[in-house]
Chain A
């Protein structure tokens, strides 16, 4: 116990650095996947059959394979198969590869939630707007959108909480996120070696993170409670 207390400041410092990377990946995935998911959703609902079929096929593949494999493919494929390692060898390249894999993967999940949300709005809402002389975009932004948001907040919350924990998968390509930071004390780092507790201690970070995210999303859900 004394030892742990003694190691604590060093470990926390390292874990904080790792957590920052985790947080960055989380934010980047959100910023990229929210809008990209909408684009994919519209693609899969397109009346142009080849486009909707292709989109649905891609979504099926992405959702049907582990994100870990997608990470590995995106990171190693250019270097090993195309003989052109576009990611370089640094942390920046690993982050970019991770962000791209996460954004694409999560956009596919989001797109299905968006699609379900959009299709669950009764057709009468759109028709009421049309009869009142609204344009397509006015109907989408003024009538449909908020109703869709209200319906997708609960399933999106689940995905977002999963994302918090999924960021750990980037460890597989050695992104220096919090798991990587915790693990580094096993082999030895900052003068500490053979310590397993820092790895377990990362769970506290995840718990705090999901706690905050749950709170914020719960607020949002409440804010939209004023209509049905």
Chain B
């Protein structure tokens, strides 16, 4: 069974239709890269998956459970959305770390707040928090940030901030981790350190949806590539095919703009 099943997502802002029926599915441990020119709707798609936008049409299912169906109001109750979001993680282009918290606190904050909803929170608080702290330290170490845990975001480089943001998203163990151009705000050197970390996650079978303009990376890391243009998926398939030997004229033209800067 697919871990993620997205069917026929439509989304308009006012009169402009930004997503015109996007469908794709993903197996556990797979990595799909979404490529496409500016304004093709990539960010909007990720925002729909994370319930930051409500699609006008279509459905989203995770592990066979329908989280959202535009035709079924019962799946759209405001009160349930917060929990449903936890199936997904999102790493933003601009990091969006919380400036008043250290790297470690950024990673543990949400987990500690969620722990309050556990039935035995009062009696096990210490134990729960110790566990959350331990996991966060391990994640930051995995991101190569062992010596940066107590730094505030403004004391970190962009690449370090983005790695904290990745650890923060991973800490809640999402089924699917989404990235929206995670390296666009970084210079080439810092880009590489972040890509290395994502590559590592792919090797560990983390299910991911990655919007990126890094073609070499997309080709290298993904099991699947979606090329979007004008709100539709123009071409999809394994990277060797979509990036290596595109069958559509529009895909070819888009990829050429990368080889000839």
Residues of A within 8 A of B (CB): 122, 124-125, 127-135, 138, 142-143, 146-147, 150, 226-228
Shortest CB distance A138–B (Å): 5
Residue among A135, A150, A227 with the most chain B CB within 10 A?
A227
Shortest CB distance A5–B (Å): 54
Residues of the A chain whose Cβ atoms lie less than 8 Å from the Cβ of B114: 133
Q: Are B110 and A133 in contact (CB under 8 A)?
A: yes
Q: Considering the chains assembled together, what is the distance between the CA atoms of A132 and B98 in angstroms?
A: 12
Q: Are B96 and A124 in contact (CB under 8 A)?
A: yes
* Contact A133-B152, Cβ < 8 Å, known A128-B96, A143-B98: no
Q: Considering the chains assembled together, what is the distance between the CA atoms of A128 and B153 in angstroms?
A: 14
Q: Does B168 contact A (CB under 8 A)?
A: yes
15 contacts between A and B (CB under 8 A): A125-B98, A130-B85, A131-B85, A131-B169, A133-B114, A133-B172, A134-B110, A135-B82, A142-B109, A147-B99, A147-B100, A226-B152, A227-B99, A227-B100, A228-B152
Chain A residue at minimum C-beta to C-beta distance from B47: A127
Q: Does B86 contact A (CB under 8 A)?
A: yes
Residue in A124, A142, A143, A227 whose beta carbon sits within 8 Å of that of B152 in the complex: A227
Residue in A127, A134, A227 whose beta carbon sits within 8 Å of that of B52 in the complex: A127
Chain A residue at minimum C-beta to C-beta distance from B89: A131
Q: Considering the chains assembled together, what is the distance between the CA atoms of A73 and B67 in angstroms?
A: 58
Q: Are B100 and A131 in contact (CB under 8 A)?
A: no
Q: Are A132 and B110 in contact (CB under 8 A)?
A: yes
Chain B residue at minimum C-beta to C-beta distance from A150: B100
Q: Are A131 and B98 in contact (CB under 8 A)?
A: no
* Contact A146-B100, Cβ < 8 Å, known A128-B92, A131-B50, A228-B154: yes
Q: Which 10 pairs of residues, A with B, have the shortest CB-CB distance?
A: A132-B110, A128-B96, A124-B96, A228-B154, A131-B90, A227-B99, A227-B100, A133-B86, A146-B100, A227-B152
By DSSP majority rule, is chain A's interface helix, strand, loop, or mixed? helix
Chain B residue at minimum C-beta to C-beta distance from A135: B82
Residues of the B chain whose Cβ atoms lie less than 8 Å from the Cβ of A142: 109, 113
Q: Are A128 and B113 in contact (CB under 8 A)?
A: no
Residues of the A chain whose Cβ atoms lie less than 8 Å from the Cβ of B83: 133
Q: Considering the chains assembled together, what is the distance between the CA atoms of A124 and B152 in angstroms?
A: 18
Extra contacts, 16 of them, besides A125-B96, A133-B86, A133-B114 (Cβ < 8 A), are A127-B52, A128-B97, A128-B98, A130-B51, A130-B52, A131-B50, A131-B85, A132-B169, A133-B85, A133-B110, A134-B113, A150-B100, A227-B100, A227-B153, A228-B99, A228-B152
Q: Considering the chains assembled together, what is the distance between the CA atoms of A146 and B101 in angstroms?
A: 10
Residues of the B chain whose Cβ atoms lie less than 8 Å from the Cβ of A143: 98
Shortest CB distance A11–B (Å): 49
Chain A residue at minimum C-beta to C-beta distance from B152: A227
Shortest CB distance A87–B (Å): 45
Residues of the B chain whose Cβ atoms lie less than 8 Å from the Cβ of A147: 99-100
Within 8 A of A (CB), among B59-75: none
Chain A residue at minimum C-beta to C-beta distance from B174: A131
Residue among A143, A147, A150 with the most chain B CB within 10 A?
A143
Residues of the A chain whose Cβ atoms lie less than 8 Å from the Cβ of B51: 130
Chain B residue at minimum C-beta to C-beta distance from A126: B96
Shortest CB distance A57–B (Å): 28
Q: Considering the chains assembled together, what is the distance between the CA atoms of A129 and B52 in angstroms?
A: 11
* Contact A227-B154, Cβ < 8 Å, known A133-B172, A142-B113: yes
Q: Does B227 contact A (CB under 8 A)?
A: no
Q: Considering the chains assembled together, what is the distance between the CA atoms of A143 and B105 in angstroms?
A: 12
Q: Considering the chains assembled together, what is the distance between the CA atoms of A128 and B106 in angstroms?
A: 11
Shortest CB distance B140–A (Å): 16
Residues of the B chain whose Cβ atoms lie less than 8 Å from the Cβ of A227: 99-100, 152-154
Residue in B94, B153, B172 whose beta carbon sits within 8 Å of that of A132 in the complex: B172
Q: Considering the chains assembled together, what is the distance between the CA atoms of A21 and B251 in angstroms?
A: 76
